Amino acid sequence: MTHALPFAPPSPWIVRFAPLLRAGSTLLDVACGGGRHLRHFRDRDLTVTGVDIDLRGVADLAGRAGVTLIQADLEGPDGWPPALSGFDGIVVTNYLHRPLLPALVAALKPGGLLLYETFANGNQRHGRPSSPAFLLREGELLRLAAEQRLQVVAFEQGEVSSPKAAIVQRLAAVKPAGPGNGLEGDPEPAPLPPA
């Protein structure tokens, strides 16, 4: 499907892992902005929900079948809207508000996919964002995955040149479906013998 307006293309990282979500799945795009990922997944026959403080960038999607738009200030006093839960996939790009990280994982169904890509420490030399509040620390997405017991599918961190020079971290991780949100059947880690 082609769009009449020149929308920004989806992130190559998100496109790479999009096939892990089947047609008919539900997807949440956090801080959806202009809706580049909402459009990509809707074109893949997913039911999509976009949440942002300002929905003007996705106003053309309002009322379309399979699209839900929620205006919310995720950083405000109300925080994460309780209606945002039970998703097969969640996409977050170019957005970081650390208090929401556990809520993101909680909003995933067991077996759900988290795709996250945003700016990291070192991006200051390329411009904005440059505040540490908006830049991931070294390996921070990996620590989030470990703390939340996510199964990491892929992780990258470093410098990119496109669409503009930036330092980023990228994560693709799955919320395990086993009891207690653990990896069923995996042995408990055992201490290594002394070297």
Q: Which helix (H) or strand (E) holds 70?
A: strand 67-71
Q: Is 192 within a domain? A: no
Q: Is 190 within a domain? A: no
What pLDDT sits at residue 2? 41
Residue 180 has pLDDT above 60, yes or no: no
Residue 185 has pLDDT above 60, yes or no: no
Domain that holds residue 89: 12-178
Helix (H, G, I), strand (E, B) or coil at 160: strand
Compare 28 and 183 and report the one with higher pLDDT.
28
Tens of pLDDT, residues 155-164: 999 888 777 7
Q: What CA–CA distances, in Å, run from 141 to 136, 145, 156?
A: 8, 6, 10
Rounded Cα distance between 5 and 7, Å, is: 6
Q: Which of 67-71, 80-84, 189-193 has the lowest mean pLDDT?
A: 189-193
Residue 100 has pLDDT above 70, yes or no: yes
What pLDDT sits at residue 188? 44
Kindly report the CATH number assigned to the domain that includes residue 77. 3.40.50.150
Tens of pLDDT, residues 18-69: 999 999 999 999 999 999 999 999 999 999 999 999 999 999 999 999 999 9
Residue 178 has pLDDT above 80, yes or no: no
Which pair of structure tokens corresponds to residue 163? 């669409």
What pLDDT sits at residue 187? 41
Q: Is 57 within a domain? A: yes
Spatial strand order of the sheet with 151-160 comes to: 67-71, 47-52, 26-30, 87-93, 108-119, 166-174, 151-160
What's the pTM? 0.86
Residue 93 has pLDDT above 80, yes or no: yes
Q: Is 195 within a domain? A: no
Q: Is 7 within a domain? A: no
Residue indicated by tokens 């459009």: 39
Q: Is 153 within a domain? A: yes
CB 144 within 8 A of CB 152: no
Task: Give yes or no for a cis peptide into 102 (omega within 30° of 0).
Answer: no
Q: At a CB cut-off of 8 Å and minimum separation 6, what does 44 contact?
A: 18, 21, 23
CB 86 within 8 A of CB 109: yes
What pLDDT sits at residue 130? 75
Tens of pLDDT, residues 109-167: 999 999 999 988 777 787 787 778 888 789 999 999 999 999 999 999 988 877 778 88
Rounded Cα distance between 150 and 144, Å, is: 8
Rounded mean pLDDT of 170-189? 67
User: In the chain, how many domains are there?
Assistant: 1
Q: Is 164 within a domain? A: yes
Q: Is 54 within a domain? A: yes
